[in-house]
Amino acid sequence: MFEARLIQGSVLKKMIDAIKDIVTDINLDCSSTGISVQAMDSGHVCLVLIELGSDGFEPYRCDRNITLGLGLKALSVVVRCANNDDSITIKAQEGTDNINFVFESPNGEKTSQFEIKLMDIDSEHLGIPDTEYDSVVKMPSHEFQRICRDMSQLGDSIVVACTKDGIQFSASGDMGSGKINLRQSSLVDKEEDQINIELNDPVHLTFALRYLNYFTKATPLSPTVTLSLKAESPLCVTYPIGDFGSMKFFLAPKIDDEDTAAATQE
């Protein structure tokens, strides 16, 4: 028996909205510690990793580890029926083919119940190594979303460069080119407005903006976002979820043609 109730159902709504354009189905791995989801896009270019600790739910019950396969189409249709202030309860019974969702309004006057069929999704579990990143940058999430959106007006790719002077985003195309520089904040009123740049090594990477604009759909989840960069490695974009979870997106970089053969032979 698996049952988990999220008081702030809007978290689930935002999460589903952020991934529905990237993946078509997901496996929810539920255990006593919480729920985790790992899904790659069909091109194997990006991966989303969601981790929700059991303490974000009240109640949380997971008798035995269970994997629930869900199609994103059905899931997003159902979850859209919840109001932003509803609580969402997820229930699944071992040996049955369905997963149940219950949405309750805060005053308890309205209750909605939905049931969708579980899917048999055969996917491998990928090991994501603990990485010592060259640079870790924390910034307001809306700022990152704005930068990605603005740069995609100029070109398909964004170059991200971290040096001791800060982090620079640039793009170019037929129309012209543009550069945005962010520097470490000195004193700010609100912690979430702070730009924090940790630099172990300068790093210079190129990414496809199309994917970044998908990832930034998770902006409503958190006022801050963290970008973790390392040479020749996937970018990690992290949106914390309250104090009990996180949503991470990994994106493989674009590499200059001469290096491509070497990189893809790995």
Partner 1 sequence: MASVGKQTKLNFTATRPRPVIKKEAPSFHRPITTDQTKTVEQVEAELNILRQFDLNLKYGPCLGMSRLERWERAQRFGLSPPVEVRNIVMSNHGNTLYSECLWFGERGLV
Nearest CB to partner 1, comparing residues 1 and 263: 263
Tell the smallest beta-carbon distance from residue 50 to partner 1 (Å).
16
Spatial separation of the C-alpha atoms in residues 19 and 63, rounded to whole Å: 28
Minimum distance from residue 193 beta carbon to partner 1 (Å): 31
CB of 122 to partner 1, least distance (A): 6
C-alpha to C-alpha distance for 47 and 45, rounded to whole angstroms: 7
Q: How far is the CB of 176 from partner 1 (least distance, A)?
A: 10
Dihedral angle of Cα 224, 31, 104, 214, to the nearest 10 degrees: 40
Site residues for partner 1 per CB under 8 A: 25, 27, 29, 40, 43-47, 66-67, 69, 71, 94, 97-98, 117-129, 155-157, 159, 170, 172, 177, 206, 208, 234, 250, 252-257, 259-260, 263-266
Longest Cα–Cα distance of the chain, Å, equals: 63
Distance CA 238, CA 127 (A): 17
Choose between 57 and 250: whose C-beta lies nearer to partner 1.
250
Is the Cβ–Cβ distance between 30 and 6 less than 8 Å? no
- H/E stretch holding 115 reads strand 111-117
Q: Compute the least distance from the CB of residue 42 to partner 1, in Å.
A: 10
Report CA Rg, the chain.
20
Comparing CB distances to partner 1, the nearer of 56 and 234 is 234
Taking the least distance from each CB to partner 1, the nearer of 30 and 139 is: 30
Residue (94 or 109) nearer to partner 1, CB: 94
The least distance separating partner 1 from the CB of residue 8, rounded to whole angstroms, comes to 29
Report yes or no: 211 and 45 within 8 Å, Cβ to Cβ: yes
Nearer to partner 1, 152 or 224 (CB): 152
Answer yes or no: are the C-beta atoms of 119 and 71 closer than 8 Å.
Answer: yes
